[in-house]
Amino acid sequence: MSQPPSGRVSDGGPGTEVPTCPRHPDRVSYIRCQRCRRPVCPDCQRSAAVGVQCVDCIREQAKGERPRVTVFGGRAGADRPYLTIAIIAICVLVWLGELASPRVFQEVAFAPFLGTSEPWRLITSAFAHSPYQIMHIGFNMLALWMIGGYLEQMLGWARYLALYLVSALAGAVTWLLFQPAMSTTPLVGASGAVFGLFGALFVLNRHLGRDSSGMVAVIGINAVLGFVIPNVAWQAHLGGLIAGGLLALAIAVSRSRGRPALAWVAIVGVLVIVLALGVAKYAASPAPVPLPFA
């Protein structure tokens, strides 16, 4: 067994001539941790309710504590909305790619005639925006930044991501229902997902008893703009809004009943309904007439 240097005992016990910090034996300290009573140097001290504690005791205490969560299961006190930032970054990068090459737009945009052969475009189109209208991406990203972080912390990243993607898909499918199955009109934009967040925020705030008058005004203004401004897919806004509201209602009910699994059942249920509507649209549409060989 090794012995401490002559004249110093690292644990500061009886017979110690000069107490030293266990983590830094070359540093003398007459201040002790309030929990373990070992000497603690200034670098290893952490303020406590009374006196100080050492970093080792702080770390052990943190392991035994349950993480704080919000009323809807999100992580309370999250530092930054990393998922929201990531979504915004992806949208901006795709938009910059569209500016650099029209090929990017052609590869990610959704058009009804591509629905049966490339159905993933229903989702990829939600991360693209019109390269000719900076306000298109500007408004969507601003709205996402303003409310996305709040919802991400409230719901947790998993439910927040599910809410965003299902709302985006619901918006695209709702728009599809109003288009000819073989239409070549493209659809891009995160508006369906953003309106899903609008709907979710309204429902969750109402559940918590918080004022939602501002959100009603925002939804109303944007609903009117959808009919006034040309080339705005108001159907996507409506579909995303309804899906987001339904998912938020399910999350609120699951919280009230103390059964968080109900929220995931509802998320899967809404997703199945949205996909079924898309399939039914193509099933009810007449098959395209094959072109004769030249």
Please list the active-site residues.
191, 237
What DSSP letter does each residue of the chain carry, written as one string? ---PPTTEETT--TT-SEEB-SS-TTSB---B-TTT--B--GGGEEE-SSSEEEHHHHHHHHHHSPPPB-TTS-BTT-S--HHHHHHHHHHHHHHHHHHH-HHHHHHH-B-GGGTTT-TTHHHHGGG---TT-HHHHHHHHHHHHHHHHHHHHHH-HHHHHHHHHHHHHHHHHHHHHTS-TT----B--SHHHHHHHHHHHHHHHHHTT---HHHHHHHHHHHHHHHHSTT--HHHHHHHHHHHHHHHHHHHHHHHTT-THHHHHHHHHHHHHHHHHHHHHHHHSPPPPPPPP-
Neighbours of 29 (CB within 10 A): 21
Cα dist from 75 to 25, 67, 91, 111, 251, whole Å: 38, 7, 25, 38, 15
Looking at the DSSP assignment, which residues form a beta bridge with residue 20?
Answer: 28
